[in-house]
Amino acid sequence: MLQPAAPSTHPLHSRPGASPTPTAARLQVSLTFLGAAHCVTGSKYLLTLDQGRRREQLLVDCGLFQGLKELRLRNREELPLTPADLQAVVLTHAHIDHSGYLPKLVKDGFQGPIYCTAATTDLLEIMLLDSAKLQEEEAAYANAKGYSRHHPAEPLYTVADVEQVLPLLRPVRYGESVAVSEQVSVTFHDAGHILGSAIVEMQVSGVEQTKRLVFSGDLGRYDNPVLFDPAAIEAADVLLVESTYGDRNTLLTDPEEELARVVNEALAQQGVLLIAAFAVGRTQTLLHYLKKLRAEGRVPQVPVYVDSPMGIRVTALYPRHPDAHRLGAGSSLDFAGLRFVTEQQESKALNSRPGPAIIISASGMCTGGRIVHHLFHRLPRPQDTVLLVGYQAEGTRGRRLQQGETEVKMFGELVPVRCRIAQLDGFSAHADRQELLRWLNNFRQAPKRTFVVHGEPAAAEALAQTLREQRGWTNVEVPGYQDEVVLFEGI
Ligand code: ZN
């Protein structure tokens, strides 16, 4: 179904009578921050090349706002662009906060190519369908319970809308330069964040000299056992750098050892260890560590269940993309005692399963998916442990558990929290402050302009401050939502 990237068939190239770049018109290149500005969600950057009557527009990332209600409401606002006029969309990776608005964009008229890595195209099929199903289920549930403020509750998009997105995906290999419009080409470099994640390097021509824009996307950690280190980028005219952990370092030095400790403590109580893990990335890293710890006799050989349909499908993708991770071709994350729970019946049966056992389920921020049912049953049990292994955004149930709330709302009910809540930061898929600075150190000289994005205000400001004061980078800005900046003006 997926076709390889074919820049020569781009509509702008094939349009009969398309005139060459006029010499007299002044080209203005601008960037509008339509998400992930002063927050970590809804990533969308609109690049506009304006030359009088000629205009090219590209969207880098097309994420859904998640978390706080005031942010989620932005998904219902109209974008300040005409989807049908966009030349292309370029995606850094498949996470829903970077890709989950695509079905809505296509529903609203976008029909152009969507460029991303091959692993991202495979992940998107799984993740967008899941996102649509979740939204359909939530709307149906809200309607049935009558607790929606919208009457009736409508999903933002449906599975049928996602089906329209998939034929537009154009897989591109890491390191390969591809023209995405007449004046813009992009190259993807491994970001080490999730399978297929990329740093986008963009070349914009037509402005005196060719300009280089670098979008860091979400940056991964160094020395991850499954993914490669984020690729070093040495130069940029304009840089957008993420700052999720711009103000803090993870204290965890040895995730493997820390996981062994939590597993042993949880199982010593004869309880169930319920791990809230993102289906993409975290689940596979955990399986990698558990397999190793069991083989080395460092944790008991209790049954391990992966109860996440998406996590199971994503795990099966790893052998298909051996160039996108360190495990190598033919490697497996499977081990004796590991069970992939595919049937809903079996998932339900786990609710009454006594310990000791380990259940890995999603979503990682406890906002939806099968984890919610598991939490509903496990949170009130003192012998059980819930382990959070990732970033918990503001407004999510995961954040409330992390903050020690004694009751959380689920299915319209208040559920008491009597189990143990554990947290391991080192499993985050995001570079921490030190690692962000390590990656930024690769630049031989300061980019002419740097925008610190994808961070809550304190985190973004902290990173910006460090770049200004300690690294001597001038022109470091923290843009706000819907800010528009002119990057270059040509002759
Ligand atoms: Zn991400």
Rounded distance from Cα 98 to ligand 1 centre (Å):
7
Last residue of a domain, one of 379, 395, 427: 427
Rounded distance from Cα 430 to ligand 1 centre (Å):
8
Rounded distance from Cα 454 to ligand 1 centre (Å):
10
Rounded distance from Cα 40 to ligand 1 centre (Å):
9
Rounded distance from Cα 369 to ligand 1 centre (Å):
18
Q: Please report whether residue 481 resides in a domain.
A: yes
Are 81 and 57 a contacting pair, CB within 8 Å?
yes
Same domain, 407 and 467: no
Same domain, 297 and 445: no
CA distance 463 to 435: 12
Residues 6+ apart with CB under 8 A from 419: 271, 378, 379, 380, 381, 382, 383, 384, 385, 386
Last residue of a domain, one of 382, 403, 427: 427
Rounded distance from Cα 35 to ligand 1 centre (Å):
14
Q: Which residues pair with 216 in a beta bridge?
A: none
Rounded distance from Cα 102 to ligand 1 centre (Å):
15
Rounded distance from Cα 288 to ligand 1 centre (Å):
20
Rounded distance from Cα 372 to ligand 1 centre (Å):
22
Rounded distance from Cα 54 to ligand 1 centre (Å):
34
For 150, the token pair is 């919208």
Rounded distance from Cα 95 to ligand 1 centre (Å):
5
CA distance 482 to 33: 5
CA distance 195 to 30: 30
Rounded distance from Cα 281 to ligand 1 centre (Å):
10
Rounded distance from Cα 429 to ligand 1 centre (Å):
7
Q: Please report whether residue 385 resides in a domain.
A: yes
Rounded distance from Cα 240 to ligand 1 centre (Å):
15
Ligand 1 is an ion; its neighbours by CB within 5 Å are 95, 218
Rounded distance from Cα 17 to ligand 1 centre (Å):
41
Same domain, 83 and 230: yes
CA distance 192 to 227: 5
Rounded distance from Cα 273 to ligand 1 centre (Å):
25
Residue 354, domain extent: 255-427
Q: What is the pLDDT along the chain (491 residues), one digit of tens a residue?
A: 444 444 444 444 444 444 444 455 788 999 999 999 888 889 999 999 998 888 999 999 999 998 778 888 899 999 999 999 999 999 999 999 999 999 999 999 999 999 999 999 999 999 999 999 988 988 888 788 776 565 678 899 999 999 999 999 999 999 999 999 999 999 999 999 999 999 999 999 977 788 999 999 999 999 999 999 999 999 999 999 999 999 998 766 688 999 999 999 999 999 999 999 988 899 999 999 999 999 999 999 999 999 999 999 999 999 899 999 998 877 789 999 999 999 999 999 999 999 999 999 998 888 888 999 999 999 999 999 999 997 788 888 999 999 999 999 998 899 999 999 999 877 888 999 999 999 999 999 999 999 999 999 999 999 999 999 999 999 999 999 999 999 998 75
First and final CA of the chain: distance in angstroms? 43
CATH of the domain at 39: 3.60.15.10
Phi, psi of 315 (to 5 degrees): -60, -35
Same domain, 79 and 144: yes
Same domain, 320 and 464: no
Rounded distance from Cα 48 to ligand 1 centre (Å):
24
Q: Which residues pair with 62 in a beta bridge?
A: none
Rounded distance from Cα 193 to ligand 1 centre (Å):
7
Same domain, 154 and 190: yes
Q: How many domains would you assign to the chain?
A: 2
Q: Please report whether residue 3 resides in a domain.
A: no
Last residue of a domain, one of 384, 399, 427: 427
